[in-house]
């Protein structure tokens, strides 16, 4: 944690409410995100209990598994989930733009104009999406395999492949196909509690937007701990795990009544799950509102374009009839994904700093950038046959960078380009000299505005602004088969069906 972040947390303790960690929004927020609040059965892997889903904060759709041990009921739930989610996911698949650039014979393709965004409450929700994806993608429908003992409903394996894709994409730093609300909020606000405690969506919101008359700490303590007379949490956890007291005192008896075939038991389970899901659903939308109030960072659209590519590439893989994602990546794919994630992290770090002075402040504190006022500019030229401008710029700064002599520096120019420079020396009077080495046009005279003038405030970074790979390309691991991806492996077998696949 940078000292600036630490300070922000301590300020939050002092003020009794969260303090900003960013001055712009660093993540894409869809105009119409699809919110997915899942609940799972305690102690069972991949046995969903229910979910609240949809794109309209006022009219969520509630899906319920009245008896999670019943394979058919789980299948029905997944079918419903597919029916609720797939139209949303697929609605972005049409209309991939093709650049109408007649000179470009390579047919430079563009990704889909927009992409779906699934929003879950917390990091555990992201993991659950992965797990659901894994549990569904190898299943066979009756059409695919007439002999399958328990055929999957038609669209379930397809949803499994999409959820797997979303889950995988979520591991790429800065990606926004499947963000967790706690992570989005935690990126933008520092609370007066620990990072561990920030995993609780209710507590996190309590710090960011405490109700009138309460401090963040008080409101967070309530959100975490307040229980009613029966010992049930007043603010249920954001899932997918449920409150054990709820399980034992409410859900288990209701399920027992359902098993006995009592009338109204199913309705009761619906109502019970609604009490657990609705507060989280509302909390996610409250988070959306808070995030929308922040202006979007300048590079967010670039990163979203990568997400659009990722989505488009997966669409193409599905269309090409490729098999589901393997259970385990082969070594090459795994290494490539790791490499891509590292690049994405470096890009994210650079872009966030460029988009946000508060992030840049952290880099300046770390000696990775410096800002100051230009005190002198001396025009010099390179020795080449056609001499190029190589002006020497002197800067006075309070920052304490430690570049080696000749180290490469980078400066953002208006219009998004970056200008390279070279560190020359720390001068005796405390100023720094820097030689500009590019970004001044092709002529002997630098283009207007490309060389700073005395009195200007400038900021140089020791890190590159666009580390490896432009924003126009799909990530290596998203390269569609049609674009020379690795050869398709045979589809893996579905999970064997055991006599009772639940205990």
Q: Contact positions toward other proteins, by CB under 8 A?
A: 1-4, 6-11, 13-14, 20, 23, 41-46, 131, 134-135, 192-197, 217, 224-225, 227, 242, 244-245, 247-248, 252, 327-328, 356-358, 360-362, 364-365, 398, 495-496, 498, 500-503
Output the DSSP codes for 106-149: T--B---S----EEBSSHHHHHHHHHHHHHHHT--BTTT-TT-S
Nearer residue to other proteins within complex by CB, 94 or 230: 230
Nearer to other proteins, 225 or 402 (CB): 225
CA angle 231, 128, 133 (to 5 degrees): 150
Task: State yes or no: cis peptide before 240, omega within 30 of 0.
Answer: yes
- Minimum distance of other proteins from residue 242's CB (angstroms): 7
Angstrom CA distances, 474 to 223, 311, 357, stand at: 42, 10, 29
Alpha carbon distance 158, 152 (integer Å): 10
Q: Which is nearer to other proteins, 6 or 382 (CB)?
A: 6
Q: Which of residues 470 and 496 has its CB atom nearest to other proteins in the complex?
A: 496
At its nearest, how many Å lie between other proteins and the CB of residue 297?
12
For the bound state, the minimum distance from the C-beta of residue 6 to other proteins, rounded and expressed in Å, comes to 5
The DSSP symbol for 153 reads: P
Instruction: Judge contact between 92 and 111, C-beta under 8 A.
Output: no
C-beta of residue 85 within 8 angstroms of C-beta of residue 57: no
Q: Nearest-CA neighbor of 469 among 377, 384, 346?
A: 346
Cβ 247 to other proteins, closest distance in Å?
A: 4
Q: Using the minimum distance from each CB to other proteins, give the nearer residue, 78 or 440.
A: 78
Q: Are 415 and 358 in contact (CB under 8 A)?
A: no
275/428 Cα distance (integer angstroms): 68
The DSSP output letter for 150 is S
The distance of closest approach from Cβ of residue 134 to other proteins in the complex, given in angstroms and rounded to an integer, is: 6
CB 503, min distance to other proteins, A: 4
Under a CB-based contact definition with an 8 Å cutoff, are residues 44 and 67 in contact? no
- Of the candidates 31, 93, 14, 54, the residue with the CA atom closest to the CA atom of residue 313: 93
Report in angstroms how near the CB of residue 57 gets to other proteins at its nearest.
29
Shortest CB 294 distance to other proteins, Å: 11
First to last CA, the chain: 43
User: Whose Cβ is closer to other proteins: residue 29's or residue 47's?
Assistant: 47
Between 41 and 55, name the residue whose CB sits nearer to other proteins: 41
Distance from C-alpha of 85 to C-alpha of 162, rounded to nearest angstrom: 10
CB nearer other proteins, residue 22 or residue 30: 22
């Amino acid at each position: 944690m940078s000292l600036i972040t630490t300070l922000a947390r301590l300020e939050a303790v002092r003020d009794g409410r969260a303090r900003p960690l960013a001055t712009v929004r660093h993540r894409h927020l869809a105009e119409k995100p699809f919110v997915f609040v899942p609940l799972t059965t305690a102690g069972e892997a991949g046995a969903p209990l229910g979910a609240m889903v949809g794109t309209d904060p006022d009219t969520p759709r509630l899906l319920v598994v009245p008896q999670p041990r019943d394979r058919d009921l789980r299948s029905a739930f997944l079918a419903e989930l597919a029916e609720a989610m797939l139209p949303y996911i697929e609605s972005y698949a049409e209309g991939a733009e093709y650049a109408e650039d007649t000179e470009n014979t390579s047919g430079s393709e563009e990704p889909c104009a927009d992409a779906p965004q699934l929003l879950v409450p917390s990091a555990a929700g992201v993991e659950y999406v992965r797990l659901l994806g894994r549990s569904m993608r190898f299943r066979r429908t009756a059409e695919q395999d007439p002999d399958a003992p328990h055929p999957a409903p038609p669209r379930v394996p397809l949803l499994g492949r999409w959820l797997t894709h979303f889950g995988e994409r979520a591991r790429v730093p800065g990606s926004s196909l499947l963000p967790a609300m706690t992570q989005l909020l935690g990126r933008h606000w520092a609370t007066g509690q620990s990072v561990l405690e920030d995993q609780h969506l209710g507590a996190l919101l309590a710090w960011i937007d405490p109700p009138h008359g309460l401090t963040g700490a008080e409101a967070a303590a309530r959100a975490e701990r307040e229980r009613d007379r029966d010992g049930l949490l007043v603010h249920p956890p954001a899932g997918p795990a449920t409150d054990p007291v709820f399980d034992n005192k409410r859900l288990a008896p209701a399920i027992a009544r359902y098993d006995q075939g009592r009338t109204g038991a199913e309705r009761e389970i619906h109502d019970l799950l609604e009490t657990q899901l609705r507060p989280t659903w509302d909390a996610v939308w409250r988070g959306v509102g808070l995030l929308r109030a922040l202006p979007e960072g300048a590079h967010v659209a670039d990163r979203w374009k990568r997400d659009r590519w990722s989505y488009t590439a997966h669409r193409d893989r599905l269309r090409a009839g490729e098999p589901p994602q393997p259970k385990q990546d082969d070594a090459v794919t795994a290494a490539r994904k790791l490499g891509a994630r590292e690049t994405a992290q470096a890009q994210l770090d650079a872009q966030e700093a460029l988009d946000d002075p508060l992030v840049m402040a952290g880099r300046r504190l770390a000696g990775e950038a410096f800002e100051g006022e230009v005190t002198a500019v001396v025009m010099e030229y390179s020795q080449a046959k056609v001499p190029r401008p190589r002006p020497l710029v002197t800067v006075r700064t309070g920052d304490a960078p430690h570049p080696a002599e000749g180290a490469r520096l980078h400066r953002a120019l208006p219009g998004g380009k970056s200008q390279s420079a070279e560190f020359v020396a720390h001068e005796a009077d405390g100023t720094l000299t820097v030689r500009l080495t590019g970004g001044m046009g092709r002529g002997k005279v630098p283009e207007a505005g490309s060389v700073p003038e005395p009195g200007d405030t400038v900021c140089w970074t020791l890190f590159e602004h666009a580390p490896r790979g432009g924003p126009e390309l799909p990530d290596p691991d998203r390269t569609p088969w049609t674009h020379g991806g690795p050869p398709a492996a045979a589809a893996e077998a579905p999970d064997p069906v055991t006599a009772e696949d639940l205990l």
